[in-house]
Amino acid sequence: MFTGIIQAVGTVTSLETHADDRRLRLGAGTLELDGIRRGDSVCVNGVCLTVRDLSGECFSTDVSAETLIRTAFSTLRPGDKVNLEKALTLATPLGGHLVTGHVDGLGVVVDRRGAGRSVAFRIRAPQNTTRYIAEKGSVCVDGVSLTVNAVRGSEFEVNIVPHTLEQTTLGGFQVGRRVNLEVDIIARYLERLLQGDKDRPEGSKITAEFLAKHGFMRDP
């Protein structure tokens, strides 16, 4: 589990292809590798990956064929910059929102414009994810926890403040860039609760009215 608060920007130093999967070697940048061991999880551009080995200020990880299909990792090349975050602990401040590192879909940057000292992006999301993206809700874009400013159809807007532009890879995003998207996990759980257990004739006792009554959502 992660928070979407990027701790360092790393660099792809090498990339090896093995059958249908790949092995990435990453320079960790300013990420503190103390305490990270083989088998630990690190979030790379929003994808939870397992550390295979460490050497100096670098670590390597294997990327499965499934991950290459479902994420933007197939476009990574040596020299590319990536957002890095170590796994959440009970002592870690939750400055963003809960991020699993399981990408829900690929988005595409369709517009970039200046907004004062910030930059506003409009991103087109896959149809199967848009119902989970809400105005003023949270979304994870290439590992970065962001607040949604507006939603219009299959597109949503986010505003990137100067600090985030400087401390992540988002400052380099241009129109056409493919990005890893993860929706707020709470939205998915709420949908599942509202669906109920369809295998039971009487259905689930968890309804929209029940959730509103107990303060989990507004009145339907």
Tell me the pLDDT tens digit for each residue of 47-106.
Answer: 999 999 999 999 999 999 999 999 999 999 999 999 999 999 888 888 899 999 999 999
Contact yes or no for 141/71 (Cβ under 8 A): no
Whether the pLDDT of residue 201 is over 60: the answer is no
Tell me the pLDDT tens digit for each residue of 101-159.
Answer: 999 999 999 999 999 999 999 999 999 999 999 999 999 999 999 999 999 999 999 99
Calculate the alpha carbon distances from 162 to 14, 169, 170, 193 in Å.
30, 12, 10, 38
Taking the CB of residue 109, how many other CB atoms lie within 10 A of it? 18
SS3 state at 166: helix
Mean pLDDT of the region 20-33: 96
Same fold, 8-86 and 105-183: yes
pLDDT range class, residue 215, cuts 50, 70, 90: low
Whether the pLDDT of residue 32 is over 90: the answer is yes
Mean pLDDT of the region 163-167: 97
pLDDT of residue 203: 59
Whether the pLDDT of residue 213 is over 80: the answer is no
Domain 8-86 fold:
Elongation Factor Tu (Ef-tu); domain 3 (2.40.30)
Instruction: Report the predicted TM-score, pTM, of the whole model to 2 decimal places.
Output: 0.87
Domain 105-183 fold:
Elongation Factor Tu (Ef-tu); domain 3 (2.40.30)
Residue-range domain boundaries for the chain: 8-86, 105-183, 185-220
